[in-house]
Amino acid sequence: MNHLQQKTYLSSQTLNKMKLNKRIILVGAAGSGKDFFKDYLTAEGFVPSVSYTTRSKRKGEINGETYHFTCDTVFKEMISDDDFHEHKEFNGWSYGTTKHSFNNSDVFIFTPSGIKTLDKEELKESIIVYFDIPYEDRLERLMQRSDSDNVGRRINADTKDFMDFREWDIKVSNPTYCPEALLNTIIMFSKI
């Protein structure tokens, strides 16, 4: 690859980021495809937020990439040190986004309770994409995973967490959505 081709490639990697000056927040129940889309956006040059959690690592997850896996003691110290922009407990584990990550990342995965922590200005600077995939599709995906949590517990927790959730800008209901088309929709929405 010559210098000109490399420069063109690098420009295409950042083209989507240049078109979008808002953070993208992905919200959805377990098995809805939000991690898949986060990985797609990362491959397109967006910078993902890496949250902290006290839950156990699942098969295939990498500390520092998927999450920063930590213990309750360290998590509580981070709360005391005011390191988090937002943090919450979900399904018995703690999750949190640091202030540094919130201010320096493009793509986030939040729960509905995490969305509630955002103020009006932060909501205005964000595009919230809600993955509302049918129950049967999510259940099938969860049954195929090897997780640190059981499927029934996750579904029950999500049902409660997503009850009356309405704070979204774009809703994805098709389990076989096209990531490229969704990114184009997000870019178009950001111009409104």
Please give the sequence-ordered ranges of beta strands (E in DSSP) within the chain, or none if there are none.
23-28, 52-53, 68-69, 84-90, 93-98, 107-109, 126-131, 170-172
In the prediction, which pLDDT does 2 show? 37
In the prediction, which pLDDT does 5 show? 39
At 157, is the secondary structure helix, strand, or coil?
Answer: helix
Q: Sketch out the chain's domains with CATH numbers.
A: 21-190 (3.40.50.300)
In the prediction, which pLDDT does 70 show? 97
**pTM attached to this predicted model:** 0.82
Residue in the structure block whose two tokens are 């205005």: 124
In the prediction, which pLDDT does 82 show? 97
The helix (run of H) or strand (run of E) holding residue 59 is none
Q: Per-10-residue mean pLDDT for the chain, 192 residues long?
A: 38 52 93 93 94 91 93 97 92 92 94 90 96 89 69 76 91 95 92 78
Single-letter code of the amino acid located at 73 = T
Say which DSSP state 48 is in: B
In the prediction, which pLDDT does 192 show? 74
- Cβ-contact 53, 67 below 8 angstroms: yes
Q: Let me know the angle formed at the C-alpha of 38 by 191 and 141, rounded to the nearest 5 degrees.
A: 125
Q: Let me know the angle formed at the C-alpha of 48 by 126 and 54, rounded to the nearest 5 degrees.
A: 105
Residue in the structure block whose two tokens are 């937002």: 86
